[in-house]
Amino acid sequence: MKTETTIQGLSASLSPARAAKKLIGFVPTMGNLHEGHLNLVREARKLCDVVVVSIFVNPIQFGPNEDFDNYPRTLDQDSKLLAEVGCDIVFAPSVEQMYGKKPRLTNISVGEITNDLCGLQRPGHFDGVAVVVTKLFNIVQPNYAFFGQKDYQQLAVIRQFVQDLNIPLEVIGVPIARAADGLALSSRNGYLSEEQRQTAPVIFQTLKQAEQQLQQKTSLDEVLVNIKAALTQAGLVVDYVEARTPELQKTSEFNQDLVLFVAAKLGKTRLIDNLQVKFTA
């Protein structure tokens, strides 16, 4: 496994693969990798000849009160894990390598689907994601790019701008990796105390109960109220509980496939999760 820290170095490393028309798979990450990320790499490994993983904590997707400076940087450990699952190239650029010395004037915004759910509390966040992911796509020029369904809204935003801008690659969404007790894997789980870690699986349990309720014809409104109540009772502070179509359009009835979204704080740690629920008439 090679590690490249410059755009030029990465291009040189990828040049033989590109010339040989090998399939290039790309997994963008901010590092601090867990099984969720490694699953993305495993999927890329299955489908592609060459697997590139980027590790870059992107300053422009953090808000002024968010944890950019304290975001964990664990490159050595990440590199070991990536080598084990068959990554070929780690791309770990500096902020200056990615953004240069001249001011960036260009912004990419995706309307409508970034205005609610996680976008509501994080103005500009998805713009920052869209810009950095577009840059990385242009640098790596992969055939396939892999993103987790855990960040479902992020995945939908990326699918949208890839389609709108004709970016020549295919986006692959990979199902959420969960701990044995159902908790969706996340870098933020490391912030939880032992007690909070015991509580956190209630999110997934509640979503599974909601799925059952929907399939037993409980109304969507009632189900959303039930989720909120269950999470609040367990000691979480709910940020949002929402239902959307798979394309993130609002819906008030369960008469099509939909996705249930939860964001809630456990102590200081904000956790998100979602569950896709199939409608069968």
Give residues in contact with its own copies (CB under 8 A).
Answer: 7, 19, 21, 100, 102, 104-113, 130-131, 134-135, 138-139, 141, 160-161, 163-168
Q: Is 45 annotated as a binding residue?
A: no
The pair of structure tokens assigned to 145 is: 């790019």
Q: How many CA within 13 A on the CB side of residue 96?
A: 1
CB of 134 to its own copies, least distance (A): 5
- To its own copies, the closest distance from the beta carbon of 208 in angstroms equals 31
Other C-beta atoms lying within 10 Å of the C-beta of residue 187: 17
Nearer to its own copies (CB atom), residue 109 or residue 193:
109
Q: What is the pairing mode between strands 50-55 and 170-174?
A: unpaired
* Nearest by Cα to 36 from 241, 190, 246: 190
Q: How far is the CB of 28 from its own copies (least distance, A)?
A: 13
260 vs 119, 146, 276, CA distance in Å? 16, 22, 6
The nearer residue to its own copies, 113 or 224, going by C-beta atoms, is: 113
125 known ligand binder:
no
φ/ψ region of 22 (left if φ > 0, alpha if ψ in -120 to 50, else beta) reads: beta
Q: How far is the CB of 33 from its own copies (least distance, A)?
A: 24
Determine which one of 25, 37, 52, 243 is catalytic: 37
Q: Collapse the DSSP code of 244 into the 3-class scheme (helix H, G, I; strand E, B; otherwise coil) and give the result.
A: strand
Nearer to its own copies by Cβ, of 160 and 186: the residue is 160
Closest distance to its own copies from the beta carbon of 156 (Å): 10
148 is in an annotated binding site: yes
The reply, when asked if residue 115 is annotated as ligand binding, is no
- Binding residue per annotation — 229? no
Beta carbon nearer to its own copies, 163 or 245: 163
- Contacts of 219-227 with C-beta under 8 Å, sequence gap 24+, read 219/253, 219/254, 220/251, 220/252, 220/253, 220/254, 220/258, 221/252, 223/254, 224/260, 227/260, 227/262
Q: For its own copies, which is the closer residue by CB, 84 or 164?
A: 164
Active site residue 125: no
32 marked ligand binding residue: yes
Q: Give residues with Cβ within 8 angstroms of 162, minimum separation 6.
A: 137, 169, 171
Q: Does residue 167 contact residue 137 with C-beta atoms inside 8 Å?
A: yes
What is the C-alpha R_g of the chain?
Answer: 19
Sequence ranges of the binding site for ATP: 30-37, 148-151, 177, 185-188
Binding-site residues from annotation:
30-37, 61, 148-151, 154, 177, 185-188
Catalytic residues: 37
- Binding positions for (R)-pantoate are 61, 154
Q: Extract the annotated binding site for beta-alanine.
A: 61
